[in-house]
Amino acid sequence: MTEPNDREEVEVTRFSSGAPAEVTDEIAREEPLEVRLNGITLVYLMRLPGDDVELAAGFCLSEGLITCYEQIDMVRYCTDGEGPSLSDEPGAPGNLAEITAHDVGESGRFEGRVVRTGCGGADLAGDVDLEGIRVESGAVFDPAILLKVPGLLEDGQPVFRKTGGTHGAGVFDSSGEMLVVREDVGRHNAVDKALGHLLLKGMSFDDKGLVLSGRLSYEMVLKAARAGVPLICSVSAPTSLGVQVGRLTGVTLVGFLRGDTFNVYSGPQRLGAA
Q: Give 14's DSSP letter.
A: E
Kindly give, in sequence order, each residue whose CB lies less than 8 Å from that of residue 111, ignoring residues fewer than 6 positions away. none
Whether 60 is a known active-site residue: answer no
Q: Which of 45, 37, 191 is nearest to 105 (CA)?
A: 37
Q: d(Cα 238, Cα 254) in Å, to the nearest integer?
A: 8
* From 60, 68, 78, 119, the catalytic residue: 119
The helix (run of H) or strand (run of E) holding residue 200 is helix 187-200
In the chain, the DSSP E strands lie at 7-16, 19-28, 31-37, 40-47, 72-78, 96-101, 113-115, 167-173, 178-184, 208-212, 231-234, 252-258, 261-266
Q: d(Cα 27, Cα 76) in Å, to the nearest integer?
A: 28
Is residue 43 within 8 A of residue 112, CB to CB? The reply is yes
Q: d(Cα 274, Cα 272) in Å, to the nearest integer?
A: 6
Catalytic residues: 119
